[in-house]
Amino acid sequence: MLYFTSGHTARGFVQMAETNVSDVRLFILLRGGGECAQMECLKEIEERLQKADVQFDSIRSPWNALMPEGLIVGNKAIWCGSLAPDIPNEATVRHAAIHPDMLSAPPAQKTAHIAYDCFREALLIHDEWESIFINRFDPKKADRLAQKWIAALLPGKSDDKQKTIHRFLGAATPTGPVDYIPELTEGLKKRYLIKGRAGTGKSTFMKKIAAVAEQKGYRTEMYHCGFDPASIDMVIVRELGFALFDSTAPHEYFPGNNEVDVIIDTYEELVEPGTDEIYEKEITALSKRYSEIMEEGTAHLLEAYKEKESARTATPAAASRTAEMIWNYL
């Protein structure tokens, strides 16, 4: 399974892997060589696990969505040391060093923080955008809509041990937004694509359904917005075979199978008709400002990643040697 547990957000760099590693009993932390070399080490281990047909979770890096920042294999986890989450008290910790075989480079600059400043500014623009629809939103209808779908999706209780897992739906990366919705929802009986506008209750709707799923004892996967972690972009209850997710940009999808995919449109259901038309000029201006500042933030992330790459002190060959050592240990 592929997913993100860390992200470049409007609230800075956020790590929320703790609920994903609560059952881990052996933590191997990579040290030395720089984060890029550590991710190369993890990628080699990932490829070996795939060839051996071993089940595992690949926690992808928001710096490079093709590379893992951590791997969970049963009750074992391997992680980039500087990106690791809080480790469970019951877990044993081991360290694996990637020995430097390059001249030391100067430390990376703080360009990532400039990107986070851009994202914070974009969040303020987004809040202004939301306010247009919030002022024409019917909260009573929203409550009724949530109760209707709670009754339809969660008729009974679970006999399993309840657990809530927090992850990111996607991530802002140096090459733009990335998500793993198709992989995470593959094989589910139903996918509910939540359409709407900013401020039309998509996140609140999903939070209400997730809260009842938790109360009824279901294992609930909550996927936070990679831009604003306070917002929820997807909920999955695998025991019941369904997912609900925010299907608007930058993770917009359309029904691919009418027997599986169902659209729920919170704009159509909950907002006064004609809002788009009445505020067309304001929405267009806000959308333009938002896109521009997000593009600027992404450009700064790319510069920050280049700085990370230049700060590495180990070659791919050194990373491979450490991967071999860890594979033999596993």
pLDDT, tens digit, 9 for 90 and up, residues 99-134: 887 665 555 557 889 999 999 999 999 999 999 999
Residue 200 lies in a domain: yes
Residue 69 lies in a domain: yes
Residue 320 lies in a domain: yes
pLDDT, position 137: 96
Region 167-188: mean pLDDT is 97
pLDDT, position 103: 60
Q: How many domains, the chain? A: 2
pLDDT, position 312: 83
- Bridge-based pairing of strands 76-80 and 26-31 is parallel
Phi, psi of 86 (to 5 degrees): -60, 135
Percent of the chain past pLDDT 70, that is, above it, reads 98
283, 129 Cβ separation under 8 angstroms: yes
Going by C-alpha positions, the residue among 10, 14, 17, 61 that lies closest to residue 37 is 61
Does residue 160 carry a pLDDT above 90? no
- 162 shares a domain with 218: yes
Region 134-157: mean pLDDT is 96
- pTM as predicted: 0.94
| The residue type at 330 | L
Percent of the chain past pLDDT 90, that is, above it, reads 88
- 175 shares a domain with 255: yes
- 176 shares a domain with 89: no
Where in the sequence is the domain holding 79, given as residue range(s)? 2-101+312-328
Q: Would you state the structure tokens that stand for residue 328, as one six-digit string? A: 């033999």
- 93 shares a domain with 151: no
Residue 125 lies in a domain: no
- 150 shares a domain with 92: no
Does residue 53 carry a pLDDT above 60? yes
Region 55-62: mean pLDDT is 97
**What DSSP string describes 8-55?**
EETTEEEE--GGGSTT--EEEEEESS-HHHHHHHHHHHHHHHHHTT--
- 89 shares a domain with 176: no
Condensed to tens digits (0 to 9), the pLDDT of residues 261-319 reads 999 999 999 999 999 999 999 999 999 999 999 999 999 999 999 888 888 888 899 99
pLDDT, position 107: 54
Confidence of residue 192 (pLDDT cuts 50, 70, 90): very high
Map tokens 């593009």 to a residue. Answer: 295
- 87 shares a domain with 144: no
Q: Which of 270, 286, 304 is the last residue of a domain?
A: 270
**Integer angstrom CA distances of residue 64 from 102, 154, 175, 300:** 22, 37, 8, 14
Region 213-222: mean pLDDT is 96
Residue 213 lies in a domain: yes
Region 175-198: mean pLDDT is 97
Residue 278 lies in a domain: no
- Bridge-based pairing of strands 26-31 and 57-60 is unpaired
Residue 294 lies in a domain: no
- 167 shares a domain with 58: no
Q: What is the mean pLDDT of the chain?
A: 94
- 317 shares a domain with 224: no
Residue 283 lies in a domain: no
Q: Would you state the structure tokens that stand for residue 264, as one six-digit string? A: 């729920």
